[in-house]
């Protein structure tokens, strides 16, 4: 069933999860200083990691595991109920990741704004990619359910 649309949805969702390595989550400006929040940590413009603002959650590892799980879901095409369960499991991981990205963004802003400094933030592409992963996973689940219903209705006709 490689030609089915859920394979396309799951493949693109996995690519979006892997693409978070390439783009910044957010960029912060505090006076003349600029900081970049990536899934691997918070860095200044020289590429040196800010040690005081270490991430509490390893986003790069979690999003890589999420992408691998979505690719694995493609190979469960012969067992659609298991495929649906795995896709629903990726929902939870994606929702948790989105929530912790938001929480981490807020904590970085408060860390950089200590002492009354004004912090201006600009969200990058990696802030929104997990949302795209969630939407595509939802669409894939709907397509898998539609296939399952089609097979069940064909079984009733026989």
**pLDDT tens profile 113-151:** 888 889 999 999 999 999 999 999 999 999 988 888 887
Sequence-separated (6 or more) residues with CB below 8 Å from residue 14? 67, 68, 70, 71, 74
Query: Total domain count for the chain?
Result: 1
Torsion of CA 28, 129, 72, 141, to 10 degrees: 140
What is this structure's pTM?
A: 0.87
User: Which residue from 129, 96, 92, 102 is spatially nearest to 12, judged by alpha carbons?
Assistant: 129
Whether 30 is covered by a domain: the verdict is no
Which tokens go with 134? 């969630």
Which tokens go with 137? 């996973």
Whether 97 is covered by a domain: the verdict is yes
Which tokens go with 3? 């030609």
Residue 3 has what pLDDT?
A: 63
Domain holding 61, by residue range, is 5-22+56-115+126-157
């Amino acid at each position: 069933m490689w030609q089915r649309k859920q394979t396309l949805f799951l493949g693109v969702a996995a690519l979006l999860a892997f693409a978070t390595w390439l783009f910044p989550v957010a960029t912060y400006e505090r006076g003349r200083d600029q900081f970049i929040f990536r899934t691997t940590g918070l860095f200044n413009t020289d590429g040196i990691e800010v040690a005081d603002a270490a991430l509490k959650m390893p986003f790069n590892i979690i999003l890589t595991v999420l992408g691998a799980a979505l690719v694995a879901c493609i190979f469960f095409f012969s067992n659609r109920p298991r495929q649906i369960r795995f896709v629903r499991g990726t929902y939870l991981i994606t929702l948790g990741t989105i929530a912790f990205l938001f929480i981490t963004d807020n904590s970085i802003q408060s860390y950089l704004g200590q002492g009354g400094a004004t912090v201006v933030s600009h969200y990058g592409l990696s802030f929104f990619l997990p949302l795209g992963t969630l939407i595509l996973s939802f669409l894939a689940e709907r397509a898998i359910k539609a296939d399952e219903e089609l097979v069940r209705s064909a079984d009733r006709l026989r």
